[in-house]
Structure 1
Amino acid sequence: MLSAYLSGADLTDSFDVRDDVDRLGVASAGSPLRISEDAIPYLLSTADLFTILLSSVGAGSSYQFLTGHGLPNLLPYCAIGILAGLLYVLRMGGRGHYSFLDAMSPRLGTGEIISCWCVTALLLVLLAFLLKIGPDYSRGAFVVFCFLAPMSLFVARYLSKIILREAVSRRAVGRRHAVVVGMPNEIASLRSQRLLARFWAGEVKSFTLSDADPSVSASADAAVMTSTIDFVRRHDCREILLALPWTDTTRLEFVRNHIRVLPVAAQLLPDVSVRSLASNRSSECVRSLAINVQSAPLSEAQRFVKRIIDIVLALLALVFFSPIMAVTAIAIKMDSPGPVIFRQDRKGFNGRRFTIFKFRTMTVQENGAAVAQATRDDPRVTEIGRILRSTSFDELPQLFNVLMGTMSMVGPRPHALAHDVQFESMLRDYAVRQNVKPGITGWAQCNGARGATPSIDKIAERVRLDLWYVNNWSLRLDIQILAKTFVEVIKQRNAY
């Protein structure tokens, strides 16, 4: 989006629906290569990781050489460098310092770099003490490393900002997609004055609401919002710009209630009246008048950190549980006829469908318009299935879902599509659960809200807990949920 602002490009009313490869940041044949804006946090964090690794190796080599010990064994220095890099990247990413806008800021972020590095160094000292690695790693080299690394990080961040600005100016960095929802006169005014670029909007498609009274146009406006939601999901748009009169609170609330089901940011742009008051102000002033009416549940940097942790934990869990999973597969095959793995369609992040994997625990494999929930002493549950369900071992194949990126270790539990349709008709906020990836375990499950949902009260309670998680996500909360999950597994509450 920023490239549109820097270039001052005139934005048209059309949305360039490119192929999937191009939308992921790689241009189609015959066009220049472009990097997606979403890839910037990954590139910056990787650069910092290698900077710290090289600093560790350089500090160890130079210190040992200058003290007359010759070239040392570099393996301990590589290990310390990788460990320090991961600790630093996780902390910086968790605080949002790898986001695109932060990277484009003229601020170098000296205080943030020093703060995160000091914490990283202290953690390294603690680990060195606990693991007693002193004899394998020179203390003098560590001191040199602690001073060399932050200076190298300053240089790396400064160079990355220069390179990124140049890439944006050459349009080598792709812009995020955005859509505009609003009244005809407001949208026309924005375009006639070429103001959308001031709000860093990229390629835009407009969805126009009716001019009629809200009570008269409710059904037509609802159809427009349904089309908007479908378009945003299909084209992976990341922002919604609202071009609505600030005095029309009824329509504002109407639009806001509809877009709550989308995991995207939304800004209310200044209307014609407000812009007239700031007509002689700078672009920065006009841009600051926009009101953030909705934020994405997780920033790009937070999604990146959560994804890294998911991959690491899933791999470790697969290694640890692989013997149990192998024995379970054999037991299922011997216990009853049918496949070892049960597959069922579910809705994931932003309403996208995916196939969930579980160990088969029933004699049926329902995956249609009607899916009966398991009940206590359900005759459809096999003998081995009862053991798997009580211990939650039937969920272990979902570790592959985590590695595939369709699920997370922690998040709202996905339900069968038939149940989604039923629950969405009962609870208005039910779909908001899909604003984050579904999880193997979640806040609702570790608070006892698991198993069947025979009443509206139980469904509402689970949704309430899931929405609390969506609105209060943090790495600390994920760790807390994972810890509480072990307790719940032992208690076996509502596990049948």
Structure 2
Amino acid sequence: MKRLFDIIVSIMGLICLSPILLVVSLLIVMDSKGGVFFRGVRVGQYGKDFKIFKFRSMKPDCEGKGKWNVGDNDDRITKMGHFLRKSKVDELPQLINVLIGDMSFVGPRPELRYYINMYTDREIPILDQKPGITDWASMVNIAQFKGFTEAADSDEYYLKVVRPLKLELQLYYRYHNSFWGDIKCILWTVYKVVTKSTKLSKDVQYIVNNYKNRLSEYDKVKMD
């Protein structure tokens, strides 16, 4: 049922959003050289690599040539790229990945091999799931772009502040996912994007609170 849902909704999404996708594509081409899409390699289900579709928001061929985690002050970002990243519009082409089966609408966000190689035995089961456009960790870390911008070292911020809680939430999804749970996650994603609310579902908030209770006071300040 999940795969059928992904196929039907991704086709509908690509058709309905086609005017927006076309306009954004033209603006990217007019803004800078390098093509419309970014096709970076990410790790998918069962640890297999795939190429993600994203609207290009940076100068060509610059991933890994600097910080992995990019804030708004990174000079690799194009003029159009600042808007794409802040608005999350750069993620829309991942509907193509969903349609062809590399990704699902809901699942752990696709990660770089660099970070997958850090997985512990406890965390490896996260890879049993297809990566998704959204998940509970995405909602908790919806403002991480701002955090990357404000951090002295964006990669360190990701490793010490964003990633640990992200992994806890992805493990929660690994062992508690269901079709109707995915629908709930999608509805919460829409709600948070539209309202900019910091509210979370009770189950997710419980995980976040437990995680924060285990942190030192210094780390709690950094998270907040």
Task: Bin the TM-score by the shorter chain.
Answer: 0.7 to 0.9
Q: Is the contact made by 1:370 and 1:418 (CA closer than 8 Å) also made in structure 2?
A: no
Q: Which amino acid aligns with 2:139?
A: C
SS of the residue aligned with 1:346? strand
In the alignment, what sits opposite 2:181? 477
In the alignment, what sits opposite 2:88? 392
The two structures, once aligned, show a CA RMSD in angstroms of 2.2
Match 2:105 to one of 409, 422, 427: 409
Alignment of 1:77-96 (within 5 A): none
CA distance in 2 between counterparts of 1:415 and 1:377 reads 22
Alignment of 1:197-346 (within 5 A): 305-346=1-42
Q: Deviations over 1:240-266 (max 9, x none)?
A: xxxxxxxxxxxxxxxxxxxxxxxxxxx
CA distance in 1 between counterparts of 2:72 and 2:178 reads 34
CA distance in 1 between counterparts of 2:174 and 2:81 reads 31
Q: Deviations over 1:194-219 (max 9, x none)?
A: xxxxxxxxxxxxxxxxxxxxxxxxxx
CA distance in 2 between counterparts of 1:432 and 1:336 reads 40
Q: Deviations over 1:18-67 (max 9, x none)?
A: xxxxxxxxxxxxxxxxxxxxxxxxxxxxxxxxxxxxxxxxxxxxxxxxxx
CA distance in 2 between counterparts of 1:470 and 1:370 reads 32
Change (3 A) 1:369 1:349: farther
Change (3 A) 1:403 1:371: farther
Q: How many pairs does the alignment contain?
A: 186
Instruction: Say whether residues 1:440 and 2:160 are aligned partners.
Output: no
Change (3 A) 1:377 1:398: same
CA distance in 1 between counterparts of 2:2 and 2:66 reads 34
Q: CA deviation at 1:444?
A: 0.7
CA distance in 1 between counterparts of 2:197 and 2:29 reads 25
Q: Deviations over 1:221-246 (max 9, x none)?
A: xxxxxxxxxxxxxxxxxxxxxxxxxx
Q: Is the contact made by 1:391 and 1:489 (CA closer than 8 Å) also made in structure 2?
A: no
Q: CA deviation at 1:368?
A: 5.8
Match 1:454 to one of 158, 169, 182: 158
Change (3 A) 1:461 1:355: same
Q: Is the contact made by 1:444 and 1:462 (CA closer than 8 Å) also made in structure 2?
A: yes
Q: Which amino acid aligns with 1:432?
A: P
Q: Which amino acid aligns with 1:444?
A: A
Q: What is the percentage of aligned positions where both structures have the same residue? A: 36
Structure with higher Rg: it is 1
Q: CA deviation at 1:335?
A: 0.6
In the alignment, what sits opposite 1:430? 123
Change (3 A) 1:477 1:436: same
Instruction: Say whether residues 1:375 and 2:68 are aligned partners.
Output: no
Q: CA deviation at 1:430?
A: 3.2
CA distance in 2 between counterparts of 1:475 and 1:327 reads 33
Q: Which has the higher contact order (CA 8 A, sep 6+)?
A: 2
CA distance in 1 between counterparts of 2:131 and 2:164 reads 17
SS of the residue aligned with 1:409? strand
Q: CA deviation at 1:337?
A: 1.1
The TM-score, its normalising length taken from structure 1, stands at: 0.35
Q: CA deviation at 1:446?
A: 1.9
Q: Deviations over 1:253-285 (max 9, x none)?
A: xxxxxxxxxxxxxxxxxxxxxxxxxxxxxxxxx
Instruction: Say whether residues 1:347 and 2:43 are aligned partners.
Output: yes
CA distance in 1 between counterparts of 2:111 and 2:100 reads 19
In the alignment, what sits opposite 1:288? none
The TM-score, its normalising length taken from structure 2, stands at: 0.75
Q: CA deviation at 1:347?
A: 0.8
Alignment of 1:61-80 (within 5 A): none
